[in-house]
Structure 1
Amino acid sequence: MTLLNHTVSQEEKGLRIDKLLAKVNEDASRSQVQAWIKADLVKVDGEIVKSNYKCQEGTTITWEIPEVEELDVIPENIPIEIIYEDSDVLVVNKPRGMVVHPSAGHHSGTLVNAVLYQCKDLSGINGVIRPGIVHRIDMDTSGLLMVAKNDKAHVSLVDQLREKTVKRSYLAIVHGDITHDYGTIDAPLGRDPKDRQKMAVVDGGRNAVTHFEVIKRFGQYTYVKCVLETGRTHQIRVHLKYIGFPLAGDPKYGPRKTLEIDGQALHAAELGFEHPNTKEWLEFEVEAPEDFKKLLINLEKMS
């Protein structure tokens, strides 16, 4: 078991404990948290509580994440670019079109299958389907992803994400001419009430902040750099659509008439974090894939 704890702040007072723990555990769903509570793995000041317990300021929540079962995800010899590796962490450059971990409809060919072939030891905190996965990027987003090789590293990296100290910047091509050189989008995100397969800006959603900087304008399109302050599902895609500049090639949030690219023009270009063991600051950068760069060349010619 991995034991974690959290002290309830004034802002969190009154929240249901399952909702709060799903928020604190970035990669845990509310149903997973409820399963922990039903198994009596969650306590408040040492007392077992139910899922509908309303949190009180200053109390300490402790919870145990159960040890995972023997891994049943099959390692696959899939080429994957490893940017950095040591005994605690991996940094990989995920190609566009690759799912991060197995799920319904994607039982093989995922990043997890590929990483397990290269590395047998990964953290078990996220269960048998998502070993080592600390954060995710969408299937059709390329770029840098950090993977934990043991539970101590996993907890450290998740804490850094929660404390917003991890550097994550993306390159994106969007529809429209963004006139401001810099900007910040601060809008809460949650499930789209009209389409549960999508995310949207909604009242009462989870806090989400994206900073952007214009790199180059091409008239009907703009090349931007986006920096994540938070890391919600589809955050950049939804935020840019929200301000009227959807990502080129985005099949879920963008227009049908768009640039020729297989998936959204979004690339996780920079990643920086404190090493879980040595405390050294590590920072990595990778170029966008060839189809992304080709789009920029064509836009330059057209402008």
Structure 2
Amino acid sequence: MSTTYYEPLVYIVPPEEDGFILKTILQKRLMVSRKLLSRLKLTEQGITVNGARQYISIKVKAGDRIEVRMEEEQSEDILPQDLPLHIIHEDEQLLIVAKDAGIIVHPTHGHYVNTIANAVVYHWQQLGITCRFRPVHRLDQETSGVLAIAKNPYVHQQISEQMIHHEVKKEYLAFVWGRFTEQSGTVNEPIDRDPEQPHIRIVTPSGYSAVTHYEVVEQYGKAALVRLWLETGRTHQIRVHMKHLGHPLLGDKMYTLPEFEDGPAAAEAAERLSRQALHAARLGFVHPGTREWTEYNAPLPADLGDLQSWLRGES
């Protein structure tokens, strides 16, 4: 069986880079990681210059056409399923979807179906697209919003690098308990597992660095809508930080405080919401294909829209 490849990544050597080493171009201009570079070197047509396979130690000339090709992949262990899939954007490099609350992103032990991955693999199958399912970030099962999925390892690596250097803009909306005295602020508190309950995260001096910025969008009676930006991506970061701040998320049974567990407001909120009130509203990064800054948005889903109307006294 002949090897098939994704569309190549193309770079034309400009005059000022005449005489550069090919490896330098690949790592400094196309930002190919060492791991991916090693993988490409083993591929018959992984790296070519003017259509011919070359060693990465050669010197290139102005006008040379460098092409990087990755073999097509597929997620053979993921069962395609015809499930609802809310596509925000799709191109040759990326698929951006609006994830519903309650659905898991990737199959896990004991949970092999009814995930975003199953829906995406089915969608690609219908289009005749051969790709491996590669989400570039995570969303909790009960968190809704923008989710980006890379269509090849280069795109995944490129966005992952941006995340490591805090260059990806991740904006969330959350409905939280309590009244704010400050309209904006930053929570810079390390997070790690609770030694007594490993599935729970806590703020602890010995934890990993975690930074969350917030601003109040709307203040209601006993609750507020806040916009949040993450510099880091620790597990349950927003939920842990907002609880630490004294403003746990509505509907969050894992990270709450005693003063917000009882009373008519808490009871009615619980009836209206079956998950924590957290939504990934916007995701921004430099697109690996176009090299331009791009942002993707997902509006509030119906359950959070209804919650907002109730908090405003409209329903």
Q: With the length of structure 2 as denominator, give the TM-score of the two structures.
A: 0.70
Partner of 2:18: none
Asked if residue 4 in structure 1 is aligned to residue 35 in structure 2, the reply is yes
Query: Which residue in the other structure is 1:292 paired with?
Result: 304
Residue type at the aligned position of 1:262: S
Q: Which residue identity lines up with residue 104 of structure 2 in the other structure?
A: V
Q: Is the 8 A contact 2:191 2:207 kept in 1?
A: yes
Question: Aligned-pair distance for 1:184?
Answer: 0.2
Per the alignment, in what secondary structure is the counterpart of residue 168 of structure 1? strand
Is 1:268 equivalent to 2:302 in the alignment?
A: no
2:130 corresponding residue in structure 1: 121
Deviations 1:13-68, CA, capped at 9 Å, x for gaps = xxxxxxxxxxxxxxxxxxxxxxxxxxxxxxxxxxxxxxxxxxxxxxxxxxxxxx99
Distance 1:85 1:190 in 2: 35
> In 1, are the aligned partners of 2:155 and 2:288 still within 8 Å (CA)?
yes
Deviation at 1:150, TM superposition (A): 0.2
Question: Within 5 A, what are the aligned runs for 1:86-101?
Answer: 86-101=91-106
CA radius of gyration, larger in: 2
Please show how residues 167-182 of structure 1 align to structure 2 within 5 Å: 167-182=169-184
Aligned match for 1:148, one of 147, 150, 153 = 150
Provide the residue aligned with 1:39 in structure 2. Answer: none
C-alpha displacement at 1:278, in angstroms? 1.6
1:55-99 CA-to-partner distances (Å, cap 9, x unmatched) read xxxxxxxxxxxx999621101110111101111111110000010
Query: C-alpha offsets along residues 93-119 of structure 1, whole Å, 9 cap, x if unaligned?
Result: 000001011113321101111111112
Aligned equivalents of 1:73 and 1:140: distance in 2? 21
**Which residue of structure 2 lines up, in the alignment, with residue 34 of structure 1?**
none
Query: For structure 1, which runs of at least 5 residues remain unmatched after alignment?
Result: 6-66, 124-130
Q: Please name the residue that 1:197 is paired with.
A: 199
Q: State the alpha-carbon separation in 1 of the partners of residues 192 and 238 from structure 2.
A: 13
How far is the alpha carbon of 1:185 from its aligned partner? 0.4
- Counterpart residue type for residue 284 of structure 1: Y
- Deviation by residue 1:245-303 (Cα, 9 ceiling, x = unmatched): 10000121125443120100000001111111220111111211111011111111189
- 1:277 alignment partner AA: G
| Deviation larger for 251-260 or 269-278 | 251-260
Aligned residues: 234
What pairs up with 1:10-49 in 2 under 5 angstroms? none
Identity %: 42
Match of 2:117 among 112, 117, 125: 112
Distance 1:196 1:282 in 2: 37
The one-letter code sitting in structure 2 at the alignment partner of 1:182 is S
Which runs of no fewer than 5 residues in structure 2 stay unpaired? 1-32, 37-71
Which structure 2 residues correspond to residues 228-239 of structure 1 after superposition, within 5 A? Answer: 228-239=230-241
1:100–1:70 CA distance, 2 compared to 1 (3 A): closer
Q: Is the 8 A contact 1:121 1:150 kept in 2?
A: no
For the residues of structure 2 that align with 1:302 and 1:178, how far apart are their CA atoms? Answer: 22
| Counterpart residue identity of residue 186, structure 2 | T
Moved more, 77-86 or 253-262: 253-262
Alignment match, 1:36: none
1:80 aligns with 2:52: no
Task: Give SS of 2:312's match.
Answer: helix
* 1:204 Cα deviation after fit: 2.3
- State the distance in 2 between where 1:79 and 1:302 align: 30
Q: Does 1:226 align with 2:228?
A: yes
Task: Please state how far the C-alpha of 1:140 moved relative to its aligned partner.
Answer: 0.4
Counterpart of 1:137 in structure 2 is 139
Cα 1:69–1:277 change in 2 (3 A) is: closer
Structure 1 position 194, deviation (Å)? 2.0
Distance 1:174 1:191, change over 3 A: same
User: Partner of 1:4: helix, strand, or coil?
Assistant: helix
Q: Displacement, 1:122?
A: 3.3
* SS of alignment partner, residue 35 of structure 2: strand
Structure 2 distance, partners of 1:99, 1:262, is: 15
Structure 1 residue 71 corresponds to structure 2 residue 83:
no
Alpha-carbon separation, structure 2, partners of 1:238 and 1:105: 27
SS at match of 2:162: helix
Greater helix share, structure number: 2
